[in-house]
Structure 1
Amino acid sequence: MSTANAEPRVETLGVSAIDAPATPFYIPAAESLQERRPRTLKHGDTFGVFDHNGDARVGSGMPEGLFHRDTRHLSHLSLSINGARPMLLSSTLRDDNATLTCDLTNPDIFDAGNRLTLAHDLVHIRRSRFLWKESCFERLTVRNFSDEPQDITIAIAFAADFSDLFEVRGTQRVRKGELHAPEVGKGDVVLSYTGLDKRQCTTRLSFDPAPTRLDGRSATYRLALGPHEGQSLFIAINCNHQPSDILVRRAFYIALRDARRALRSSSSRAAAIVTSNDIFNEVVRRSISDIYMLITDTPEGPYPYAGIPWFSAAFGRDAIITALEMLWVDPAIARGVLGHLAANQAEVLDPSADAEPGKILHEVRYGEMAELGEVPFRRYYGSVDSTPLFVMLAGKYLGRTGDLASIRELWPSIEAALAWIDAYGDRDGDGFVEYGRRTGEGLINQGWKDSHDSIFHADGSLAHGPIALAEVQAYVYGAWQAAADILRQLGEPGRAVAFEARAEVLRRAFDVQFFDDELGTYVLALDGDKRQCRVRSSNAGHALFAGLAYQERAASIVESLMGASSFSGWGVRTIPSTEARYNPMSYHNGSVWPHDNALIAMGMAQYGYRREAARIFEGVFAASTYIDLRRLPELICGFPRKRAQGPTFYPVACAPQAWAAAAPLALIQACVGLEFHPDEQQISFDEPLLPPSLNEVVFNRLTAGKGSASVSLRRSGQQTVVDVLERQGDMRVMIKV
């Protein structure tokens, strides 16, 4: 996918039917996710997608339901009152994403003779739902607010199709496994399926109290409620779980307590930020909550899954970039990402998985189709940039924390990644790293823009491989610089100097081969014939992020990125409107991605273009103010910003998406020039600039070494004043002007 997605998708708008089959594993856009604005929950390898009523109603291409390890364990869930669908009052997620609460009421209900039997708004239903340890827990509270007793029938219909996530996304299967007959007990139902891979999946629905009537498709309660009387019903939906001795009611409260504690514990590691802008504070809270909801605890540490619904899995590129964006907030995420990717590093050649020794993971899938090889993503390595980004992250983690012990432990994997760059990354020995899939089943394009048509020439013709992407060379440069920094601290200065020399050679060659004077920026890529893809793109901004660009090139690159054809007002487009394949509704050819903009802004700030970084901040922040829950999606369309109008949404964008959620946090760091020096127990602000929408920013729990500090930045005329509010340990705060 793109850095946030793992597989290329067909452009859902503006692409002909003839083009569509060229892209395997694409996501069809039969219905817009933005139209439904689903509610999402996640814990570990389990996630749920529900509508505003709390139901899951399956339609073509819709991902609603309860999923566990890439299999849909509940495909239908619907609630009715006296045979009618309740009316929505409100639907909210807690600020920490711990629970979904849906408030519903009854519509006017008539009998067969069209006589009104229950007037609207007399019965209130509150659904409280959360996920914990492969289970979905729900409490239904039904209350009669009328002055008369009411006989209420609550019915909960359910079904499980056990579809593989790739089936839900649109991939057609010739054969499927066997659905078994439901096993119905007094208070529970077990639905099960045996796949073609011989694995059995089960879904157990348990009810407390036992329903009045229960079968393999629904549970029915007949409640006699006096005036203002209420009753609570409890449901537990377990994925592959054995029955529990604990009553569902008690299990609900125990799990709710544990789920909230776990979220508080993990998010408490994070530095906190509070600003003078209440709306931005909401964006920050949602960003932090989404990141920690998306994190799955692995044996190696916390690992952010890419996004819901399509990419709730371990992705290499996505997790690395998320960890880079979050490094100032919570470096433990980077440590977990590095450890998990090292544990899953490729060790052998496997063309079917695009695996080569030392290569870093692209994605892991656990579903039936992956196990059977119907999709190549069981453990897949088809990304050209994950490996150099892995080394970059290791270097930046060391610079952020000073944790040499962890880096020493990871060093064999870092060395293997560096060796991959030479042995496999540079396929033709020209000094640049290229990609090309090893079989016809892999991804066609293997950078973060991995749609089938995302790499092209100025006339719009598609480039053929092996392809050397501009940003990948930047990441390789960053990897070699990181290796030099690490080696110097490991006591090997000679090898450090050698890597620095290689980085400088690459820098000179890149400038010669990729910079185009007429375009005023770096070209998108070199194709298999070493012809330039003379296309302006956001990729050039990544050369600033990694430090590959010469300082004298920065001004024209920034001008190209911030010009009217590229900067939409909401952010920098993936490609500007001047290019042949520009389509503001496309996935990679004209859209705006928050994470892309965050990296670009971080790069601009490093080269001294902090005001331009602040413009990007303002654009991305402005977009978030129009979005449900202040939740930045994976991408938005690249239409120009218009006065008093919000952005145009992309129909099947994932939300939440880890690297999009982390983008506002990375953008504020870029604007204020926040840097860490753990060896000196020092933090610094390099020419800090507050964006126009923020008059004050307070950072709490900023750590460097063994010290920490809380710091306030506030606007005073044209200056930014920095005040230390609190410090612990021998902590210094420096301001560079």
Structure 2
Amino acid sequence: MAVARPTPADPTPGLAAAAGPGDQRAVPPELGPESLAVLSGPTFMYSDPAGDVPPGSIGGLVHLDTRLVSGWVLTVDGHRFPVLRSETLDHYSAQFMLTNPELPGLPPDSLTARRLRYVGDGFHERIEFVSFCTEPVRFEVRLAVAADFADLFEVKSGVRDRSADIVRGHGAGGAALSFRYERDGFTATTELRSSVPPDRIEGDDLVWQVELDPRADWKVDLVVPLAPGLGVVEPVRGDIAEVVHRRADDPLRRWTESRALLHSDNPVLERVARKTRYDLAALRLELEVKGQRVMLPGAGLPWFLTVFGRDTLITAYQTLVAGPGLAQGALLALARLQGTRCDDFTDEEPGRILHEVRSGELTRTGTKPYTPYYGTADATQLWLILLSEYWRWSGDDELVRRLREHALAALHWVDAYGDRDGDGYVEYATRSPEGLGNQCWRDSPDGVCFSDGRIPVLPIATSEIQGYTYDAKLRLAELADGPLADAPLAARLRADAVRLYERFNRDFWLDERGGFYAVGLDGDKTPIDSKTSNMGHLLWSGIVPPERAEAVVRQLMHEDMFTGWGIRTLSREDRPYNALGYHLGTVWPHDNSIAALGMARYGYRAEANRIALALLDVAEQFGYRLPEALSGYARDRTMFAVPYPTACSPQAWAAGAPLALIRAMLGLNPVDGRLELDPDVPPELGRVTAERVRAFGRRWDLEAVARTGYVRLAPD
């Protein structure tokens, strides 16, 4: 019986509802294109290039979906510092080099300020000043601090004023400042500790009067402790100088050094692979599952540093070539949180794999349904696909048998709940007043539409979800023949897959415009006739008949779809096309990596390589990191790649995309306890080698150039 919950009262009267994950409404003032973030697990500090967080911006210190610091502005004699240069040093640390403006008694550029910061067991910042004046100087240093305790959802749209419920303390319990918020059973605390007590506190500003002789320096260390919680990883610890100079023990560095290592004659590929390793390390989350600590990828900075279904599963699939740890963690963690009942508010159903988990106030007090929220129609199948792929790479029969009941529950969800009307297709339609309208990867409100821009009626069966379902059933049949030892189940699943294959290719194929697959069927079973990148997912799943593969590849690589940087999410022919539309013409690296794997599967290696080389060119332009999404402008028009305005960076499945592209180029696959190589490496990349590739509990080395190569066990 479904649990119906009343909609809680609006906590933000007079403001627009907080934006959900697929809602790309305007946000408060940005911090500028040179903004910097340091992050560790579910914690990040976002600031402008000076290291400041102006009140009212989207910046601040966010921990477990709650903004603990919303204002953090450093001034000298009431003026902000010009920036000399600022950079992240590691994902968790940054340095800001500043100078002074012209001030009475203080010539310009006579005072150097350096800010060092890192996120670990707390938020740490050191502020240093050095005087190059020829005479002693005296100046005022002020740090203006604010804590609004906004839920992360609110930061994206509009923040409720909580000031009446925030209790402030000055100098209490060893803290220079303390803020405590409590309402409706939700509490949050921010404490700021200072190594040098301020000369005075004005409001929530710490003020020091600093006197410096020529060449003398002054410094203060500031710490905001952080509470433990869901996803918090083993942090780096130590004196801030030791941390930023990489002399402290660093769990992140230890993790990356144990991963597979890639080399190439092409330095761009090598640098992109290195960046991928560090980005995936930075986005790790830790959970405990039945006493076992597991790691899995969070989705992305800044909005999605939490456990997801779809994003986490696809990232884990992409990264299996670098090791099984993230995939194993994703499988265990998501199985632990698998749905067990029907709940209209959270869209939970038995066997369903979640969409997203949150821990901020709006979730904890019942305004938002992310406890977890289960509104995704593809994560359950993707979990089954990952279980199969993990087994193919590891041969871990024990884990498959351990997850048997979860796999059967997932299958039951697909057949009994996913197929809402018994027509053999998995459809979606939210029951929650706070739920997502689109529950596929194109989850923005207009992400699935007709070619003329009309929004389809619910429930919707999108094409790629049927492909995932087809693949999941065939893979589960393989597991049923193997470690699950259930031959009748295997036979039933293969028969189901054959029927789905035939039905899908009858109902989703459209002969017009050169022939292509509709993006979906609406609630009236009308084909939704927009031409989208979802066709690449169909190649990946294997649901496309060989005789149609050429037409699908041709559509994807036509100039209406392929920009020169990658495949657009929507054809330029369709009326809703927008080069800056979230799912209406942008280019998503993860989407393209799936298409490349699909093209390689069907033997279209040149086209897969064209996608790979295009995305390597993109990565080179963005510090060897692929952003979440690119604008869909044609390459021959703009000449450089244009990012989507609010793209996450780093973002997990964008970080994992290069590994999937490399796998497609190498033709690297696990087969019966060994790794097989079928390379087609483009000449631009020359020789590609990889060391410490882990499969079947052993390490492997491989090398490929053009269409030749080898793979062999690495020496112990």
Q: Could you tell me the TM-score, scaled by structure 2's length?
A: 0.90
User: Which of 279, 289, 293 pairs up with 1:290?
Assistant: 279
Which secondary structure state, in structure 2, belongs to the residue aligned with residue 380 of structure 1? coil
Cα shift readout 1:278-303 (whole Å, capped 9, x = no counterpart): 33333222222111111111113112
User: Which of 254, 263, 269 pairs up with 2:252?
Assistant: 263
Question: Which amino acid is the alignment partner of residue 65 of structure 2?
Answer: D
User: Which of 660, 665, 672 pairs up with 2:659?
Assistant: 665
The verdict on how the C-alpha distance between 1:27 and 1:575 changes in structure 2, with shifts beyond 3 A counting, is closer
Written as runs of structure 1 = structure 2, the 5 A alignment for 1:33-72 is: 35-59=32-56, 62-72=57-67
Which secondary structure state, in structure 2, belongs to the residue aligned with residue 138 of structure 1? strand
C-alpha displacement of 1:51: 1.4
Equivalent pair of 1:203/1:240 in contact (CA under 8 Å): no
What 5-or-longer segments of structure 2 have no aligned partner? 1-15, 229-236
Equivalent residue, structure 2, for 1:530: 525
Question: Which amino acid is the alignment partner of residue 699 of structure 1?
Answer: A
Written as runs of structure 1 = structure 2, the 5 A alignment for 1:434-583 is: 434-490=427-483, 491-519=485-513, 520-583=515-578
Moved more, 340-349 or 705-714: 705-714
Equivalent pair of 2:28/2:58 in contact (CA under 8 Å): no
Equivalent residue, structure 2, for 1:118: 106
- Cα distance in 1 for partners of 2:357, 2:163 equals 22
User: Which of 636, 641, 650 pairs up with 2:630?
Assistant: 636
C-alpha displacement of 1:203: 0.6
Moved more, 84-93 or 462-471: 84-93
Equivalent pair of 2:691/2:701 in contact (CA under 8 Å): yes
C-alpha displacement of 1:104: 1.4
User: Which of 235, 242, 265 pairs up with 1:276?
Assistant: 265
Cα shift readout 1:619-672 (whole Å, capped 9, x = no counterpart): 222222222x33322111111113673222222221111111111221111112
User: Which of 219, 225, 231 pairs up with 2:206?
Assistant: 219
C-alpha displacement of 1:478: 1.3
- Cα distance in 2 for partners of 1:98, 1:23 equals 27
Which secondary structure state, in structure 2, belongs to the residue aligned with residue 474 of structure 1? helix
Equivalent residue, structure 2, for 1:107: 101
The verdict on how the C-alpha distance between 1:638 and 1:32 changes in structure 2, with shifts beyond 3 A counting, is farther
Length, aligned pairs only:
685
Question: Which amino acid is the alignment partner of residue 121 of structure 1?
Answer: D
Written as runs of structure 1 = structure 2, the 5 A alignment for 1:309-708 is: 309-490=302-483, 491-519=485-513, 520-627=515-622, 629-642=623-636, 645-677=639-671, 679-680=672-673, 682-686=674-678, 688-708=679-699
C-alpha displacement of 1:105: 1.7
Which secondary structure state, in structure 1, belongs to the residue aligned with residue 183 of structure 2? coil
Equivalent pair of 2:27/2:157 in contact (CA under 8 Å): no
The verdict on how the C-alpha distance between 1:423 and 1:723 changes in structure 2, with shifts beyond 3 A counting, is closer
- Cα distance in 2 for partners of 1:591, 1:331 equals 31
User: Which of 198, 211, 224 pairs up with 1:237?
Assistant: 224
Equivalent residue, structure 2, for 1:83: 78
Equivalent residue, structure 2, for 1:13: none
Equivalent residue, structure 2, for 1:3: none
- Cα distance in 1 for partners of 2:713, 2:446 equals 52
The verdict on how the C-alpha distance between 1:32 and 1:664 changes in structure 2, with shifts beyond 3 A counting, is farther
- Cα distance in 1 for partners of 2:92, 2:488 equals 51
The verdict on how the C-alpha distance between 1:675 and 1:210 changes in structure 2, with shifts beyond 3 A counting, is same
Equivalent pair of 2:24/2:582 in contact (CA under 8 Å): no
The verdict on how the C-alpha distance between 1:662 and 1:525 changes in structure 2, with shifts beyond 3 A counting, is same
C-alpha displacement of 1:566: 0.2
Question: Which amino acid is the alignment partner of residue 684 of structure 1?
Answer: E
The verdict on how the C-alpha distance between 1:697 and 1:149 changes in structure 2, with shifts beyond 3 A counting, is farther
C-alpha displacement of 1:22: 13
Moved more, 454-463 or 530-539: 454-463
Pairwise CA RMSD: 2.5
Equivalent pair of 1:189/1:216 in contact (CA under 8 Å): no
Equivalent pair of 2:285/2:306 in contact (CA under 8 Å): no
- Cα distance in 1 for partners of 2:443, 2:387 equals 25
- Cα distance in 2 for partners of 1:494, 1:139 equals 65
Equivalent pair of 1:296/1:304 in contact (CA under 8 Å): yes
The verdict on how the C-alpha distance between 1:599 and 1:724 changes in structure 2, with shifts beyond 3 A counting, is closer
- Cα distance in 2 for partners of 1:232, 1:403 equals 53
The verdict on how the C-alpha distance between 1:189 and 1:231 changes in structure 2, with shifts beyond 3 A counting, is closer
Which secondary structure state, in structure 2, belongs to the residue aligned with residue 327 of structure 1? helix
Equivalent pair of 1:525/1:532 in contact (CA under 8 Å): yes
Equivalent residue, structure 1, for 2:8: none
Amino-acid identity (%): 36
Which secondary structure state, in structure 2, belongs to the residue aligned with residue 582 of structure 1? coil
- Cα distance in 1 for partners of 2:203, 2:227 equals 17
C-alpha displacement of 1:23: 8.4
Question: Which amino acid is the alignment partner of residue 528 of structure 1?
Answer: G
Question: Which amino acid is the alignment partner of residue 701 of structure 1?
Answer: R
- Cα distance in 1 for partners of 2:418, 2:660 equals 29
- Cα distance in 1 for partners of 2:507, 2:713 equals 50
- Cα distance in 1 for partners of 2:100, 2:367 equals 46
- Cα distance in 2 for partners of 1:163, 1:92 equals 27
- Cα distance in 1 for partners of 2:218, 2:170 equals 27
C-alpha displacement of 1:726: 7.7
Question: Which amino acid is the alignment partner of residue 438 of structure 2?
Answer: N
- Cα distance in 1 for partners of 2:37, 2:627 equals 13
Equivalent pair of 1:427/1:434 in contact (CA under 8 Å): yes
Question: Which amino acid is the alignment partner of residue 54 of structure 2?
Answer: R
- Cα distance in 2 for partners of 1:146, 1:543 equals 67
What 5-or-longer segments of structure 1 have no aligned partner? 1-19, 112-116, 242-248, 730-737
C-alpha displacement of 1:21: 8.9
Cα shift readout 1:322-358 (whole Å, capped 9, x = no counterpart): 1011111121101101111001011000011111100
Moved more, 523-532 or 458-467: 458-467
Moved more, 38-47 or 170-179: 170-179
- Cα distance in 1 for partners of 2:378, 2:508 equals 18
The verdict on how the C-alpha distance between 1:610 and 1:169 changes in structure 2, with shifts beyond 3 A counting, is same
Equivalent pair of 2:186/2:365 in contact (CA under 8 Å): no
C-alpha displacement of 1:450: 1.2
Which secondary structure state, in structure 2, belongs to the residue aligned with residue 47 of structure 1? strand
Which secondary structure state, in structure 1, belongs to the residue aligned with residue 689 of structure 2? strand
Moved more, 483-492 or 193-202: 193-202
C-alpha displacement of 1:402: 0.9
Equivalent residue, structure 1, for 2:157: 170
Cα shift readout 1:136-173 (whole Å, capped 9, x = no counterpart): 11122322244444334332211101111121111565
Equivalent pair of 1:712/1:725 in contact (CA under 8 Å): no
Equivalent pair of 2:66/2:150 in contact (CA under 8 Å): yes
Equivalent pair of 1:570/1:647 in contact (CA under 8 Å): yes
Equivalent pair of 1:542/1:603 in contact (CA under 8 Å): yes
Equivalent pair of 2:118/2:124 in contact (CA under 8 Å): yes
The verdict on how the C-alpha distance between 1:180 and 1:437 changes in structure 2, with shifts beyond 3 A counting, is same
Question: Which amino acid is the alignment partner of residue 675 of structure 2?
Answer: I
> Is 1:203 aligned to 2:190, yes or no?
yes
C-alpha displacement of 1:465: 1.3
Which secondary structure state, in structure 1, belongs to the residue aligned with residue 621 of structure 2? coil
- Cα distance in 2 for partners of 1:724, 1:424 equals 44
Cα shift readout 1:259-290 (whole Å, capped 9, x = no counterpart): 75210222233211122233333322222211
Equivalent pair of 1:98/1:260 in contact (CA under 8 Å): no
Cα shift readout 1:568-611 (whole Å, capped 9, x = no counterpart): 11110001101121111111111111111111111111111111
Which secondary structure state, in structure 1, belongs to the residue aligned with residue 125 of structure 2? strand
